Amino acid sequence: MAAVNSRRVALGALAGGVVWTVWSMAVNNLVLGGRYAWAQEKGLMLKEPRYPFLVGWILALFAMAYAIAWLYASARATRGAGPVTALTIGVLVGFAAGFPTNWATVNWGTVGRAFPFWWMVDLWVGAILAALVAGWLYRD
């Protein structure tokens, strides 16, 4: 079994994190941007975050991109190298990251269905994109 190339994992994580951040900003600004103002005016969401949200969100996306890149590098030995393995990891991690919490939010939250749906899409598609980028950049 080949050792994991830590430098390529870091490179994949960096590139995957950038792609995921751009995707996330597009979803949250272009698709949900107007809805945030509406929800804040209705008192369904805070007008200011409790913590520095944007910094924490971007750091979380990069941490997830690192986990995905590492999982891809590790799975190559058993699942094979290539986009199918990367896609599989992206789908699985994206589901785990995006579905359970947003399923609970859509059932119990007060912000409607659009927010949890798009938050789930943000995480699921972002994980897939990060996995594909990491897989494309990874070399043993």
- Tens-digit pLDDT string for the chain (140 aa): 678 999 999 999 999 999 999 999 999 999 999 999 999 999 999 999 999 999 999 999 999 999 999 999 999 999 999 999 999 999 999 999 999 999 999 999 999 999 999 999 999 999 999 999 999 999 98
98, 122 contact by CB (below 8 A): yes
Q: Is residue 63 part of a domain?
A: yes
Q: Is residue 1 part of a domain?
A: no
Q: Is residue 31 part of a domain?
A: yes
Q: Is residue 67 part of a domain?
A: yes
Query: In 27-82, which residue ranges form alpha helices assigned H by DSSP?
Result: 33-41, 53-79
Domain span at residue 39? 6-137
Tell me the one-letter amino acid at 93.
V
The structural domain count of the chain equals 1
Residue corresponding to tokens 């393995």: 85
Q: Is residue 23 part of a domain?
A: yes
pTM: 0.94
Q: Is residue 92 part of a domain?
A: yes
